[in-house]
Amino acid sequence: MNILMKAPFYSRLTRPPLIALFGGLVLFLAILWAKPVAANEQHHHDAADDSDEHGHTEQPTTGPHGGRLFTEGEISLEVSIAENTEPAELHAWILRNGNVVQQAQLSLQTTGLNGAKTAYHFRKQDDYWRAKNGVDEPHSFDISADLRIDDKHYHWQWSNYEGRVSIPAAIADKVGIKTTAVAPAIIERHIQVYGNLVTPPDQQSHIRARFPGIIRRMNASTGDRVANGDVLAVVESNQSLQTYQLRSPMEAIVQNRHGNAGEITGDAPLFTLLNSQQLWAELKIFPSQRFEVQVGQGVHVTHNGHLHESTIESITPAAMGRPFVLARVILSNDDGDMAPGDMVKAQIDAEKVPVNIAVNNKGLQSFGGGPVVFIHADNSYQAQPLKLGRSDGKYTEVLSGIKPGDLYVVENSYLIKADILKSGASHQH
């Protein structure tokens, strides 16, 4: 299929709900920014003796094999791409007065938006010529072809763009399209666990009368917040008939009150106090996870949409022979958002792996049946397919597709995707 007339990799998509979702916004943006880069730019060529050069401009022409056709005098060259191989292949037909040329030297060079150049050298196979190396997606590049037959040199240049759009810098800034450079990163592998919040033992207190006697006054009730040193109750001793005070040993909330004025004190607590400014997350670690969990590992605890960072303080067996151990994590609760008994989800740092090439996950889009980022150069944005490796939810390793230093869109990349999809039907490749 023709390198210039083939269906672009993005056109093989079924139009998703994204178009409807962003249709109004994309229509507005389409008015503001330039149209997507034309799929087929005009080309020029020259054919001459080694000492002569000339050329002219003409419209694209389709050859008998569905490829891009060039002619100069008695010589014709047709270039196409075969999609039935992986990767795709470049094929060419070289004719003189309609007859197959047996001896020739043909080479092509493609230049992508990020400046990456790929050379293709052809060898004869049956009645056509086949490039020795395959063509990776996207098939979006500037192309130059050099053909030598006997003592004559033919040269053509043209462009084939797909999945590419041009946006003026001022418009990109206005709609919040931001780019960053491809760089190394640390990929963190996590273990996902669940658990509950509990009050640490040192943050709860049971207040008892020191000596048996009669309760003369109860100053605090259930739910009251008390400060360190506040008088909670006054008791009259049975032995000395003197009164003494029971004071709070910490800042806390009265969870329970047991007793009223005039009652006799015994061994039972009169008050139960809790300080919830600091809580434990008791995380359940099952047998298959134990070998990767240790004291001191970093933990990312999610509660009610908020992320809390901490480390594992201790690991102990669960009570009653349950099939897990408990990893305890200290969490600050100064804002009072958490409460004992709440369920939490946590990610435990299991491994940190440095990778040479990574992208921020905010820049990744699903496009043409696989993951892409939109690389940026000048005022153009190009959908660039990627082969991905490990990911930690924030960064993803890139095995192939881009190189360090390439600029890619990291904020609002969906706008570019939507605009290319919207206008994809009008592209002719």
Q: Tokens 């940026």 — which residue?
A: 376
In CATH terms, the fold of domain 204-273 is OB fold (Dihydrolipoamide Acetyltransferase, E2P) (2.40.50)
For the segment 362-394, what is each residue's pLDDT rounded down to a tens digit?
999 999 889 999 999 989 999 999 999 999 889
Q: How far apart are CA 143 and CA 80, in angstroms?
A: 12
pLDDT at 422: 82
Reduced to 3 DSSP states, what percent helix, strand and coil does the chain have, rounded to the nearest 5? Answer: 10, 50, 35
Contact 249, 208 (CB under 8 A): no
CATH class of 169-187+353-424: mainly beta
Query: Model-level pTM?
Result: 0.63
Q: Which of 144, 139, 160 is nearest to 60 (CA)?
A: 160
Q: What percent of the chain has pLDDT over 90?
A: 68
Q: What tens digit of pLDDT does each residue of 313-329 get?
A: 999 998 888 899 999 99
Alpha carbons 248 and 395: distance in angstroms, whole number: 49
Question: What's the pLDDT band for 37 if we cut at 50, 70, 90?
Answer: low
Q: Are 377 and 114 in contact (CB under 8 A)?
A: yes
Domain 190-199+277-351 has CATH 2.40.30.170: yes
Which CATH number does the domain 40-160 belong to among 3.40.91, 3.40.50, 2.60.40, 3.30.460? 2.60.40
